[in-house]
Amino acid sequence: MKLKKEKINLEVRVQHYGFFNSDLDFAYKHKPYKDWLLKYTELKDIEDYECGQYDFDIEMIRRWIKKTKQPYEAVWSEYNDGIYILPKGWQERMGI
């Protein structure tokens, strides 16, 4: 057989900590991210923040995860048009 590389769609069941429409949605629901976001952006109020103002939503959450050593991974779902927060190492547990 010849190995190919292409985009395929698979339905996968995973445990997750939540689905969020944007990083702002995540900030409203998860205070540690909100606090970090305000400190990182030097904004005084979350109402002054706009999605995409500093980087893509998924990248902001990934930056928070990395800088604060969180036990999560952030995954973008094109199908659902949003962000899932998954346990770190979720792919290894599934054999992906």
Domains of the chain: which residue ranges? Answer: 30-94
Residue 76 is predicted with a pLDDT of 94
pLDDT in tens, the chain (96 residues): 998 889 887 788 889 999 999 999 999 999 999 999 999 999 999 999 999 889 999 999 999 999 999 999 999 998 899 999 999 988 887 776
Chain centroid to Cα 69, Å, comes to: 14
Residue 91 is predicted with a pLDDT of 82
Residue 16 is predicted with a pLDDT of 95
Torsional sign, CA 10, 15, 21, 22: negative
